[in-house]
Amino acid sequence: MFQINENYLQLGESYLFSTIARKVDQFSAAHPGADIIRLGIGDVTLPLSPAVIEALHRSVDEMGVKESFRGYGPEQGYLFLREAIAGTDFQKRGIDIAPDEIFVSDGSKSDTGNIGDILGEGNVVAITDPVYPVYLDTTLMRIGKTNKIRLLRCSDENGFLPEIPDERVDIVYLCYPNNPTGTVMTREELKKWVMWALEQKSLILFDAAYEAFISDETIPRSIYEIDGANRCAIEFRSFSKNAGFTGLRCSYTVVPQELKGTTANGKEVSLHHLWNRRQSTKFNGTAYIVQRAAEAVYSPQGQQEMREMVGYYMHNAQLIRDGLIEKGWTLFGGENAPYIWLKCPGDMDSWTFFDRLLAECHVVGTPGVGFGSAGEGYFRLTAFNSYEKTVEAIERIKKWEY
Ligand code: MLT
């Protein structure tokens, strides 16, 4: 009989957010009248902005006309979008990233998981703990529970920032602003990682999906703000959270032309070339209409609407922070990120806190331990619900006898 990929048997029973959705569904079924407020999965609640909707309508109409209909597009993404991205997200900020270094995709979840396809199985991979579960699960799917995975433990003692590994590591996943802890990395801190990677000839997989939520101008929004990062880092960006594309699906990955890896016998190979080869073989590109919608995010109106959307969620983040501080709870994040990471009161473990918050306040969050064992005793709340629901959730928590 054929065999399966046994690495899958080493994964947790289900993906974290699927487990939570199941638990919440069970609770709702048992308590049909409960008005449940979801501050769990980081899914947006504001509708797409007018500039995006207008671009969608226009491009849908184009698809219905023989002269402007589009079939397969370029696998790397249409040039109109890659130029808009390179110009606005990088060149305007003095960062030298060209349109041909950008690969448009359907989500950072896919790209941060798929990137392993072009990396050798012998690499030692470092992953922070706690972590966005996709990096760990997809690494496990690929290489299994070998001795090739290093967990970089983050705790309140180090402000939930990882230490540079003191042993050989080939690849490290970094996500800043961080999911789940909402913490950010200063320029000095990020510079240390870039210097380390250049020295060690290691690769940084930098997930910047939440960069739009940074308001502190001193915090880097791209790893390429650091000199030399184009020789040691791949960056992932998403339209999901800043422009509300979670249901539309669009993201991009930057693989600089100068970035090289080596074969087992030391021959240098361009990662850009390999990712292009991988994408053109396994991916037929993001839908034309979605790319037109993403392009609209870069118009002056689209940029203004994006800033308003981000501002709305960050106002929610501030409300959550203020409410929890008033309650006397210890918390991190929520200042340059849409996630608030709190220490469960009374030394409760993460799942007990989840169950009690759901049962007693009808509020859903995400147990910190779901992001790794270092997250035990912590809990994540998102700022992505509506203002009204966020106010209500915080009022319930404030009144809660805890
Ligand atoms: C989260 O809640 O961590 C995010 O929504 C997950 C994601 O972006 O895939």
- Cβ of 42 less than 6 Å from ligand 1: yes
What is the pLDDT at residue 369? 95
Read off the CATH number of the domain in which 391 is found.
3.90.1150.10
Q: What is the DSSP string of 218-268?
A: TS-SSGGGSTTGGGTEEEEEESTTTS--TTT--EEEE--TT-EEE-TT--E
Question: How far is ligand 1, taken at its centre, from the CA of residue 113, in Å?
Answer: 13
* Ligand 1 atom at minimal distance to the Cα of residue 109: 9
- Cβ of 40 less than 6 Å from ligand 1: no
Instruction: Let me know if residue 37 belongs to a domain.
Output: yes
- Cβ of 109 less than 6 Å from ligand 1: yes
Question: How far is ligand 1, taken at its centre, from the CA of residue 108, in Å?
Answer: 10
Question: How far is ligand 1, taken at its centre, from the CA of residue 11, in Å?
Answer: 18
Instruction: Let me know if residue 167 belongs to a domain.
Output: yes
- Cβ of 179 less than 6 Å from ligand 1: yes
Question: How far is ligand 1, taken at its centre, from the CA of residue 148, in Å?
Answer: 25
Maximum C-alpha span of the chain:
66
* Ligand 1 atom at minimal distance to the Cα of residue 40: 2
Instruction: Let me know if residue 325 belongs to a domain.
Output: yes
Instruction: Let me know if residue 379 belongs to a domain.
Output: yes
Instruction: Let me know if residue 323 belongs to a domain.
Output: yes
Q: Tell me, yes or no, whether 245 and 346 share the same domain.
A: no
- Cβ of 41 less than 6 Å from ligand 1: yes
Instruction: Let me know if residue 203 belongs to a domain.
Output: yes
Total structural domains within the chain: 2
* Ligand 1 atom at minimal distance to the Cα of residue 240: 8
Q: What is the 3-state secondary structure (H, E, C) of 29-88?
A: HHCCCCCCEECCCCCCCCCCCHHHHHHHHHHHHHHCCCCCCCCCCCCCCCHHHHHHHHHH
Question: Per residue of the chain (402 residues), what is the pLDDT tens digit?
Answer: 999 999 999 998 788 889 899 999 999 999 999 999 999 999 999 999 999 999 999 999 999 999 999 999 998 999 999 999 999 999 999 999 999 999 999 999 999 999 999 999 999 999 999 999 999 999 999 999 889 999 999 999 989 999 999 999 999 999 999 999 999 999 999 999 999 999 999 999 999 999 999 999 999 999 999 999 999 999 999 999 999 999 999 999 999 999 999 999 999 999 999 999 999 999 999 999 999 999 999 999 999 999 999 999 999 999 999 999 999 999 999 999 999 999 999 999 999 999 999 999 999 999 999 999 999 999 999 999 999 999 999 999 999 987
Residue of 15, 16, 17, 248 to mutate, ligand 1, most atoms within 8 A of C-beta: 17
* Ligand 1 atom at minimal distance to the Cα of residue 41: 2
- The closest residue, in CA terms, to atom 6 on ligand 1 is 42
What is the pLDDT at residue 402? 76
Q: Tell me, yes or no, whether 60 and 192 share the same domain.
A: yes
Q: Tell me, yes or no, whether 241 and 196 share the same domain.
A: yes
Alpha helices in 92-223 (DSSP H): 108-114, 133-143, 187-200
Q: Tell me, yes or no, whether 214 and 318 share the same domain.
A: no
Give the residue from 300, 325, 340 where a domain finishes. Answer: 300
Question: How far is ligand 1, taken at its centre, from the CA of residue 40, in Å?
Answer: 9
Q: Tell me, yes or no, whether 134 and 185 share the same domain.
A: yes
- Name the nearest CA neighbour of 51 among 179, 243, 264: 243
Instruction: Let me know if residue 215 belongs to a domain.
Output: yes
Q: Tell me, yes or no, whether 26 and 86 share the same domain.
A: no
Q: Tell me, yes or no, whether 287 and 314 share the same domain.
A: no
Q: Tell me, yes or no, whether 356 and 243 share the same domain.
A: no
- Inter-residue contact 150 to 392 (CB < 8 Å): no
- The closest residue, in CA terms, to atom 3 on ligand 1 is 42
What is the pLDDT at residue 13? 79
- The closest residue, in CA terms, to atom 4 on ligand 1 is 42
- The whole-model pTM stands at 0.96
Residue 31: give the domain boundaries. Answer: 6-47+302-399
- Name the nearest CA neighbour of 212 among 188, 192, 240: 240
Read off the CATH number of the domain in which 211 is found.
3.40.640.10
Give the residue from 232, 265, 300 where a domain finishes. Answer: 300
Q: Tell me, yes or no, whether 33 and 147 share the same domain.
A: no
Question: How far is ligand 1, taken at its centre, from the CA of residue 7, in Å?
Answer: 23
Instruction: Let me know if residue 1 belongs to a domain.
Output: no
- Name the nearest CA neighbour of 111 among 242, 201, 208: 208
- The closest residue, in CA terms, to atom 5 on ligand 1 is 42
- Inter-residue contact 160 to 183 (CB < 8 Å): yes
180: cis peptide before it, omega within 30°? Answer: yes
CA distances from 109 to 268, 321, 361 (A): 28, 27, 31
Question: How far is ligand 1, taken at its centre, from the CA of residue 110, in Å?
Answer: 12
Q: How far is the C-alpha of 332 from the C-alpha of 183, rounded, in Å? A: 7
Q: Tell me, yes or no, whether 126 and 165 share the same domain.
A: yes
Q: Tell me, yes or no, whether 60 and 186 share the same domain.
A: yes
Give the residue from 300, 317, 333 where a domain finishes. Answer: 300
Q: Tell me, yes or no, whether 183 and 326 share the same domain.
A: no
What is the pLDDT at residue 145? 83
- The closest residue, in CA terms, to atom 9 on ligand 1 is 109
